[in-house]
Amino acid sequence: MIIYNVTISINPEIETEALNWLREVHIPDVFRTKLFLEYNMYKIVEDPLTKTHNSYAIQYHLESWKKFEEYTEKHAERLKGETQSKFGENVLAFRTFLEKI
């Protein structure tokens, strides 16, 4: 199993709006590709004393690298572009991968 981990930093001024959009629009659009099995979304706690945060990790599960290649070829540019178009520099993301062993 492959986990496509997208870590997102959100400008605190639009955090609620961005999270709602991710849950209601973006993540359902990702799943409409029919390439992902499930996802988990986590809040990243940046300071354990104050519990401040404005970063999140979304982990999308895929059964194979082949499914990710299909996602990249057919869907990734459009989906990333929609987020960029809507929020610009107020939502920044970087991507990593985990492979279950």
Predicted pLDDT of residue 29: 97
Per the listing, tokens 């519990």 go with 51
Give the global pTM.
0.88
Predicted pLDDT of residue 43: 92
Predicted pLDDT of residue 52: 62
User: What residue segments make up the domains of the chain, in order of their start?
Assistant: 11-56+64-91
At 71-99, the pLDDT tens digits run: 999 999 999 999 999 999 999 999 999 98
At 34-84, the pLDDT tens digits run: 999 999 999 998 777 766 668 999 999 999 999 999 999 999 999 999 999
Per the listing, tokens 């981990």 go with 5
Q: Which residues neighbour 17 within 8 Å (Cβ) at sequence distance 6 or greater?
A: none
Let me know: does 100 contact 16? Beta carbons within 8 Å: no
What are φ and ψ of residue 98, in 5° steps? Answer: -125, 140
Q: 3-class DSSP state for residue 50?
A: coil
